[in-house]
Amino acid sequence: MNDNRKEVWCAGEEWCPITTTSSLIGKKWHPVIIHRLLENGPLGFNALKEEVDGISSKVLSDTLDDLEGNDLIDREIVSEKPFRVEYSLTEFGQSLEPVIYSMRDWGLEYLKPPEEMRD
């Protein structure tokens, strides 16, 4: 049994690991950001924004706060002048690697890319 398990909120009277896990990574950008950090290692805010196509700065900032609040990522101040932070996965966040890569693999097998990407 894993002694590092995280206790989280769960709806209903019975604990459901699917519901609980989806509450941690089920928001639109959570798995995408975790995937980009798995693929690239630690990234600064602007570099992460470039890696996550279509996300606004506000949404990225809010999502990073949420992921940090759930102990999935660390935020480290790299320099004060100019102010620069770097985001990386915690050990808890890295433990999602098989889940994230399974999502990617399923998508590659069962989903078609948009028409413009197939040309």
Task: Determine what percent of the chain is predicted with pLDDT higher than 70.
Answer: 85
* Residue at token pair 């990386």: 88
End-to-end Cα separation, the chain, in angstroms: 49
Q: Bridge-partner residues for 69, per DSSP?
A: none
Nearest Cα neighbor of 92 from 68, 76, 71 is 71
Q: What mean pLDDT do residues 98-116 have?
A: 90
Where residue 20 falls among pLDDT bands split at 50, 70, 90?
confident
* Residue at token pair 């949420």: 66
* Residue at token pair 């197939």: 118
Q: Bridge-partner residues for 75, per DSSP?
A: 87
- Please report the domains of the chain, with CATH numbers, ordered by start residue: 28-111 (1.10.10.10)
DSSP 65-81: HHHHHTTSEEEEEEEET
pLDDT surpasses 80 at 13: no
- What is the rounded average pLDDT for all residues in the chain? 89
